[in-house]
Structure 1
Amino acid sequence: MTNLKALTAVIVDDEPLALEGLKLRLEKIPEINVIGEAQDGDQAITLCQQLQPDILFLDLQLPGLNGIEIVQALQTDIMPLIVFVSAYGEYAIDAFELNAIDYVMKPVNLGRLQKTVEKIMQRVEPKHNEAEKFRLLNALKETSGISISELEDWLKSDTPLPTQFASELVIKNSDNEKIFLSVSDIRWIDAAGDYMCVHTQGETHIVRITMKKLELELDERVFKRIHKSTLVNINYVQRVKTLRNSECILELGSDIQLKVSRNYSAAIQQFLESKQL
């Protein structure tokens, strides 16, 4: 029915045979894990405080506090879902006024309990799914740097996952026309004074921008600095040649070789080794 782990339950009944029968039936339902049993009101309250079960299966007629009084005594922030189990139908209205999820008449059979569990899962699963959604969104936020609100908007759409980094660079060519250049096509970038030379397969585009500003627009997990004036797209690196002076050469195919300066060599080597299978 669900991928949720089994919900914990405490069962309460002053009749040992009824208690054992309820436990045996619940043990046949994989969504429920019975973690405690009680035969009177005080013991039931103590178990709930200690174990904090998800569900409390509760008889109404008990020594000392009755079932309704137990629920009234348990009104806390960590309130289990209440299922009353009784041989008396006249208490049902009072039970549902306490927001009980179900009222099961004795003698209890497995089929009736399964219907109760279906009700419980309908109540629990949306909350679980919402919590799981928030956990995943928060993990995406940490890895992508995108706000939770943006990620929630993305979930409602059919667009690719948004990113805080640019997916395109807008470049003006010699005719003053705008070119939309996909960042994934960029092989490497090097500085030439106040300009950046952006290299793709077979083309070089000139952009008037500082290296520092351009670097902020690009995903640092993809574009690695190999020199104070050079960035390389790691996805295009095909081979690394180590030199004697702690420097190395990155080959981007047979046509391009880029030298990694000594200051960046160790970091680049470590990063590339982390990507090895």
Structure 2
Amino acid sequence: MPSSLISAMVVDDEPLAIEGLKLRLQKIPDIHVIGQAEDGDSAIALCQELQPDVLFIDLNLPGINGLEVVQSLQSDNMPLVVFVSAHSEYALDAFELSAIDYLLKPVNLGRLQQTMERIRERLTPLERDQEKFKLLQALGEVSGMDISELQDWLSSDKPLPNANQQELIIKNQDNEKVFVSVADIAWIDAAGDYMCIHTDAENYILRITMKKLISQLDERIFQRIHKSTMVNVNKIVSIQSLGNNESMLDMGEGVKLKVSRNYNAAIKTIIESRSA
């Protein structure tokens, strides 16, 4: 069932026929008539303006007829079409225009309910696609991933992708590749084009610039505390305020790191948000 009201427009050259159909549609809770017209030209203009989900339209109209109205509306914003007529001989022509149904006058509520079931079936997948896109868009903003990558993930059984590195590949003293989990890193300091990666268990040297390494790490977790030092905020044990708008971080295991004044406010805000 669609999560919102289905918008509809009614077109008929007889005002009483319009009112009769509207009264029946009012008995169906998830549909709302947003417009009506009594001739073909007005129907085209109003349909383009309102862009209803469904168009209920009579075949016999002044000027251009119902079939011609629908032919002129063929576009990306084409509504679902239900033809309403006192004659059955045009049904084949109507379905060739991809009409969702063809109702004979006078339309009874039971038959109209059947039409509504078809309408719901056609609209629900579209709404689901739109909702899925909105969710992927929001997830992309949070994760930093492109929507195309998230769509590929959605159709697979892989874990949620992440734009940030989950592991760093570092060569040890024996020139062997070591995979270091980013979550295990406590702090990082720079020495030229080399980074010293400090974990609870061991320290590693990685040839990379600070700028490039920052681009690979989650900025919500790794924060600069100095122009040559950044820390994993989840590893901070405590913070002590110093003079001159500076602070000292306790990283545990006897490690204390000074926060320069340029980064002091940001680090304090992060720590306060963790304790809130």
Interval of TM-score (by shorter of Structure 1 and Structure 2): 0.7 to 0.9
Residue 67 (structure 1) aligned with residue 70 (structure 2): no
d(CA) in 2 for partners of 1:50, 1:194: 60
CA contact (8 A) 1:239 1:250 kept: yes
1:155 has 2:154 as partner = yes
The 5-angstrom pairing of residues 89-168 of structure 1 reads 89-168=88-167
> Is the contact between residue 82 and residue 100 of structure 1 (CA under 8 Å) also seen in structure 2?
yes
Q: CA separation in 2, counterparts of 1:238 and 1:2?
A: 50
Give me the whole-angstrom Cα distance separating, in 2, the residues matched to 1:208 and 1:124.
54
Give the Å deviation of 1:73.
4.0
C-alpha displacement of 1:98: 1.9
Q: Which residue of 1 aligns with 2:265?
A: 266
The count of aligned residue pairs is 275
* Residue in structure 1 matched with residue 251 of structure 2 by the alignment: 252
> What is the deviation of 1:11?
0.8
2:197–2:206 CA contact under 8 A, matched in 1: no
Q: 1:11 maps to what in 2?
A: 10
Match of 1:184 in 2: 183
Letter in 1 for 2:207: I
Deviation for aligned residue 1:265: 1.4
State the distance in 2 between where 1:172 and 1:270 align.
35
- Distance, in Å, in 2 between the alignment partners of 1:45 and 1:214 is 58
Cα pair distance change 1:276/1:31, threshold 3 Å: farther
**C-alpha displacement of 1:219:** 1.7
Instruction: Give me the whole-angstrom Cα distance separating, in 1, the residues matched to 2:46 and 2:53.
Output: 12
Q: CA deviation at 1:103?
A: 0.5
Letter in 1 for 2:2: T
Query: Percent identity of the aligned residues?
Result: 60
RMSD: 2.7
Determine the structure 2 residue equivalent to 1:85.
Answer: 84
Moved more, 62-71 or 78-87: 62-71
1:206 equivalenced with 2:204 (yes/no): yes
Give the structure-2-normalised TM-score.
0.85
5+ long unaligned stretches in structure 2: none
Give, in whole Å, the separation in 1 of the partners of 2:97 and 2:221: 57
Q: TM-score, normalised by structure 1?
A: 0.85
Q: For 1:190-210, what per-residue CA distance to the aligned partner results, in whole angstroms no more than 9, with x for missing partners?
A: 245665332223x22221324
Check whether the contact 2:8–2:56 (CA below 8 A) recurs between aligned residues: yes
Gap runs ≥5 in structure 1: none
**Cα offset, 1:141, TM superposition:** 3.6
The 5-angstrom pairing of residues 46-57 of structure 1 reads: 46-57=45-56
Partners in 2 of 1:198 and 1:76 — Cα distance?
58
Q: In the alignment, residue 89 of structure 1 is paired with which amino acid?
A: S
The one-letter amino acid of 1:20's match is: E
How do 1:207-226 and structure 2 match up within 5 A?
207-212=205-210, 213-226=212-225
Q: Is the 8 A contact 1:226 1:259 kept in 2?
A: yes
Partner SS for 2:202: strand
* CA 1:258–1:13: 2 relative to 1, 3 Å: same
